[in-house]
Amino acid sequence: MVVASSSGKSIGTQGAKFIVSGGISAVVDLGLTYLMQVVFGFSAAGSRTVGFIFGTLTAYLINRRWTFQAEHSNKRLLQVSVLYSITYFVNVGGYNLLFDLFTHYNMVQQAAVVVAFVIAQGTATVINFFVQRLFIFRG
């Protein structure tokens, strides 16, 4: 059984598109996080914030037009901004906790950046998809 939203798009199709756009956004996000933290020596929180901002902008632009095929709306932009503000704390807070935990137990910094990023980003991504699909871009 395929579940479709009121706009007729199946959750499977939207989920697949969300994963692709998330992959693109994650490359932007992780790339900037890694560059800022490992190469330039910024703090974990500062690096993660820069990566999050640029990754989030990338994700919103791709998801609005391609994944959910929605026109621009100031109301929707405000809703997404509130959602991303909430998931910022889930994502960046989780990243900081995990990075500190992993490095405390002697995981090398480069690996800790990537593993903490993947876990924190995965958690925030699941929250983002379902809130966007069910409430913001419901059609």
Residues 57, 24 contacting (CB under 8 angstroms): no
Question: Which has the closest alpha carbon to 33: 79, 98, 77?
Answer: 98
Q: Where are the alpha helices (DSSP H) in the chain?
A: 11-34, 44-62, 74-104, 109-131
What pLDDT score was predicted for residue 139?
Answer: 58
What pLDDT score was predicted for residue 77?
Answer: 86
Per-residue confidence in pLDDT tens, the chain, 139 aa: 334 443 557 889 999 999 999 899 999 999 999 999 999 999 988 999 999 999 989 988 998 899 998 888 899 889 998 999 999 999 999 999 999 999 999 999 999 999 999 999 899 989 998 999 899 887 5
Domain boundaries, the chain: 11-136
